[in-house]
A and B are shown apart, each in its own frame.
Chain A
Amino acid sequence: MSSIAQYLLNGLMQGTIYGLVAIGFTIFFGVMNVIKFSHGDVLTFGAFGGLVATWLSIALGLPIWLELGLVILVAVAASAAIGALIARSLVLPLKDAPPLNMLLMTMMVGTAIRECIRLFFPNGTNPQKFPELLPSGGAEMSGVYLRYDGLILIVSGIAFIFAIQWIINRTRLGLAIRAVAEDGETARTMGINFTLTVAIAFAIGSMTAGFGGALFGLYYSEINYGMGLILAVIGFSAAIIGGLGNIWGAIIGGYLFAGLQTAVVATLPSLSDYKNVVAFIIVIALITWRPTGLLAERGSERV
């Protein structure tokens, strides 16, 4: 029983990270009708940015809590910057192109980011050790080992998600973003700065990736250049399950995917290697059953 609780905790952690990635996908799609597949590698970029921040902090001899804050800040800022850059220079010019072109282009951008990290970061091909910044150890509760850092990360991840959600739904900026997502032309005529709003939306979406990257590094104490790809696919799947353009859907999709993985590991321990296989099979089945996602509007076509 205790091990199931253990799996659950792990699942919650992963679900938070997946949810963060999925939110980004869903924002991008909602605002510009584009699937930005480089999102996972933007996460990696943010994580590596955070790593550099830790080196800087150690060199400057900063106290741990300041180092922690700096890591998160730099990770988020780095991702936001590169996300906005990609949006301005690569996505916007190509927005009228066929979807295959856009998809391929963002996949290639992701590959380019990944390769740049691999080639130009010192020792880029090796996994990088992320320092222990959160209190280690944990509480033993009825056989379940609750890691302190795990709990902190889950709580902060959920808090961040709520913050993003609040920005989108309750601020003027969020209103502008939603307006642009609804109808770009009309938003422009209403005096909303289209390009700026799009850039900001992409920056916000990428920020979630940066935060996710920092969480990942802090939890596993290890980051590597290739970690973005599988996270992108999972995040994309999660966003689609929840329905593209729907933030709550993305979050639910993320936890759902993690839940699927956990279910496989918990119920069939000897088959735990197959957790991704089962999860993806269920994802494919889900989108076959509901081709436009679980929470999105039903699309129907009868010709």
Chain B
Amino acid sequence: MSFLSANGAGGPELFSSQVGSRMSFLSMKGKGGQILSSVLVAACVACSLVAVLDIEDQRALGICIAVIAGVAFALSKLGIVQAAEQAGVHHPWAVRCIIVAAFAGVLLVLRENNFALLMSATILIYATVCLGLTIQTGFTGLFNFAGAAFLGTGGYTAAMLANVTWLPDIIVILSGGLIAAALGTILILPVLRTRGHYAALATLAFGILFYGFLEANELLGGPQGLKVPGITILGWDFANEPTLGGISFSFYANYVVLIGAIFAVFMIFTRFVERSWIGIWLDAVRLDETAASVFGLRVSLWKSFAFTTGNFLAGVMGAVYAKMTAFIAPANFTFGDSLTLVSIVLLGGIGNRWGVLIATMIVVLLPEKLQFIQEYRLLLFSCVIIGLLFVRPGGLLARRVRVFGGQ
């Protein structure tokens, strides 16, 4: 019964309007209905993304965002969002094709827009890091306030390995993840031995000392930062503009495709973790450690697994991010950034991987595009999160109830 509060932040409240009651409105239960719903949702998300990224004029943008919000609200009330999620559960490959098509569509429309593609890449990077955090916090209930530190580890690994020119970039990127995971093992003992607030302090202190270390250390560039070379895979330098059938794309398209591929891989991985016995064990650890260990679960092992995996994801994306922006400095990886990552996970709905993507889009895009709120973005962001914690602690897309014994 306790699985009804599977979204850790929701407390004892039951899952609200998302499940059951409103689904029947448009009879979306059947296979065709589900596929149609997912096409609709994917199309809406893709169009929204393109619109927000492309529109420059502030007033038009404001209206556009209001329209998008309205559409989103409508879709969720009509049960289309749930149907799309069901499609994701029952017909994963169909949904994956739809998503790839939407992705290609967005890429095609935005092909010359450097900044839009850079933003898209950034969104996907943060979304992947937050997937890692979801595994740590959403599934296993670990607090990680040092997400930015592991992101930074990946980045600095990439910067340092830049001098070792014979290493192919794929290995460099993977090393970023491995070093981050290795660094995380230093924290495993404190994380395992402490509970609650004390555990929060462990990662918090680590994040701060990481930043302090980078600022003080000359070898790693200090506050000045380091330049990082771009990615070259199999001889194709990512600084070149790719052309496909006569259509030329901005060179950022290279990065978007690569990051999109990595994101897709990790989404599938996260889904696998969630739906497998590993996911059940992680949930058990989160919900009641004592009971879980009574039943023979090796709590330490699974906590370590979740923590290390999440850090690996962060490290990989850190390396890619550093190479894409060609620059890295300690000021990118402060406590505020770690806090933003945790907030994204909460905003999207703790434990919901699609929610993570939507939340990242909101958190990354809105401050960038809405110029008039640029200065106030941190203030607005903190107020939104505070409000959210009061009104809807489950987040935007609260996590689905886990249903056992066949779907």
Contact = CB atoms under 8 A, between A and B. Distances in A.
In the complex they form, whether A and B have CB atoms below 8 Å apart is answered with yes
A63 interface: no
B390 A240 contact: no
B24 interface: no
B38 interface: no
Contacts of B390: 93-94
B11 A100 contact: no
Contacts of A99: 196-197, 200
Interface of B: 8-9, 11, 137, 143, 187, 189-190, 193-198, 200-202, 204-206, 208-209, 212-213, 215-216, 290, 293-294, 335-336, 339, 342-343, 346, 375-376, 378-379, 381-383, 385-386, 389-390, 393
A240 B9 contact: no
A104 interface: yes
Given A100-B9, A105-B389, A281-B209, A29 B290 contact: no
A240 B189 contact: no
A138 B389 CA distance: 51
A281 to B, nearest CB: 6
Contacts of A85: none
Given A99-B196, A277-B216, A291-B195, A237 B201 contact: yes
Nearest to B195: A291
A244 interface: yes
Going nearest first, the 10 A-B pairs with the smallest beta carbon separation are A273-B216, A280-B209, A115-B379, A108-B382, A111-B382, A112-B382, A288-B190, A276-B212, A280-B205, A291-B194
Contact of B11 (A35, A96, A301): A96
Nearest to A34: B197
Interface string A220-246: 000000000110010011001000100
Interface residue tally of chain A, by bracket? 35 or more
Interface of A: 29, 35, 90, 93-94, 96-101, 103-105, 107-109, 111-112, 115-116, 119, 229-230, 233, 236-237, 240, 244, 273-274, 276-277, 280-281, 283-285, 287-288, 291-293, 301, 303
A288 B382 contact: no
Contacts of B215: 273
B204 A236 contact: yes
Contacts of B385: 104-105, 108
Contact of B198 (A97, A100, A287): A287
B9 A108 contact: no
Contacts of A115: 376, 378-379, 382
A212 B9 CA distance: 34
The A contact surface, by secondary structure, is helix
Nearest to A111: B382
B5 to A, nearest CB: 10
A97 to B, nearest CB: 6
B8 A287 contact: no
A303 B194 contact: no
Contacts of A104: 339, 342-343, 346, 385, 389
B386 A276 contact: no
B346 A111 contact: no
Contacts of A230: 208
A100 B339 CA distance: 12
A274 B212 contact: yes
Contacts of A112: 379, 382-383, 386
B343 A98 contact: no
Given A276-B209, A284-B206, A100 B386 contact: no
A278 B226 CA distance: 24
A18 to B, nearest CB: 14
18 contacts: A99-B196, A100-B137, A101-B389, A103-B200, A104-B346, A104-B385, A108-B382, A111-B339, A111-B381, A119-B376, A119-B379, A230-B208, A237-B205, A277-B212, A280-B206, A284-B190, A291-B195, A303-B293
A281 B9 CA distance: 30
A115 B294 CA distance: 47
Contact of A35 (B189, B200, B375, B389): B200
A33 B303 CA distance: 25
Q: Most chain-A Cβ atoms within 10 A of its Cβ — which of B11, B197, B339?
A: B197
A97 B11 contact: yes
B189 A288 contact: yes
Given A97-B393, A303-B290, A287 B194 contact: yes
